[in-house]
Amino acid sequence: MIDVGLLLTMIVAVGVPSLVARWWPLTTFGEPVGFLDVAIWPAMVGLGVGRLVAVALDGPSSLGSLSDLLIIRSGVEFWPGVAAAMLAAAWSAHRSGVASFDRLADLVPLALIGYAGYEATCLVRDGCYGPETSLGIRPPGTSTTMLPVGILAAIAVVVGAVVLHRQLGRRASWAVVMGGLTVVAGVRSLAAIWLPHIGDGLTRQHWSSIAVLLATVPALTAGVLGGHPATRERQLLDR
């Protein structure tokens, strides 16, 4: 049976940034390329690694079952998947003779658009959950109107993508990459506060996002305070 919600999510997460790429063309490939052409391989690597890590943590006995591994909906570890996708993109850049951070920074704004599409499609998956409100959306199977945290997360990520796209060429590439990680980690850390979960403590996904946020904020701050790369070069030449 086809999981229509998951299928629509994948279409939106890849299709929307592919459309946006017409206005935000990629510049580190030497020739015009589509987002789908360059993102599908890192995305598949990230999805595979994220699934393997999730299974290893939650049900190691399932590692020997291909059918269990392929049930993506039952859990993917987000940040290991992100790390694997970034490494795959960096490796591809190295093979092409392009600086890894330049390639990653080139991809970050469109990747954020794709992630925003994933968050927004909570509408077609299990429903958009959040705190109870008088005005909001009623998720399937509930009688309570809730503020759709997924939709708000998507809006915040899109804003972050626009800001970071405007910083391309103005800030060091590594700072743009750190900015992208900070946006996603910050949004996920805040959103997880209102999303339903079992128990009273932080979920693994929640604390891992907080850990990434704490790691990237200092690097992002250094990048912002560092100023325009070209400005620093001119200052060195003037000495």
3-state secondary structure the chain: CCCHHHHHHHHHHHHHHHHHCCCCCCCCCCCCCCHHHHHHHHHHHHHHHHHHHHHHHHCHHHHHCHHHHCCHHHCCCHHHHHHHHHHHHHHHHHHCCCCHHHHHHHHHHHHHHHHHHHHHHHHCCCCCCCCEEEEEECCCCCCCCECCHHHHHHHHHHHHHHHHHHHECCECHHHHHHHHHHHHHHHHHHHHHHCCCCCCCCCHHHHHHHHHHHHHHHHHHHHHHCCCHHHHHHHHHHC
Q: List the domain boundaries for the chain.
A: 4-234
Q: pLDDT by residue (tens digit) across 91-109? A: 999 998 999 999 999 999 9
pTM of the shown model: 0.88
4/215: higher pLDDT:
215
Q: pLDDT by residue (tens digit) across 108-136? A: 999 999 999 999 999 988 889 999 888 88
Per-residue pLDDT at 234: 36
Q: pLDDT by residue (tens digit) across 60-101? A: 766 666 666 666 666 789 999 999 999 999 999 999 899 999
Mean pLDDT of 137-151: 89
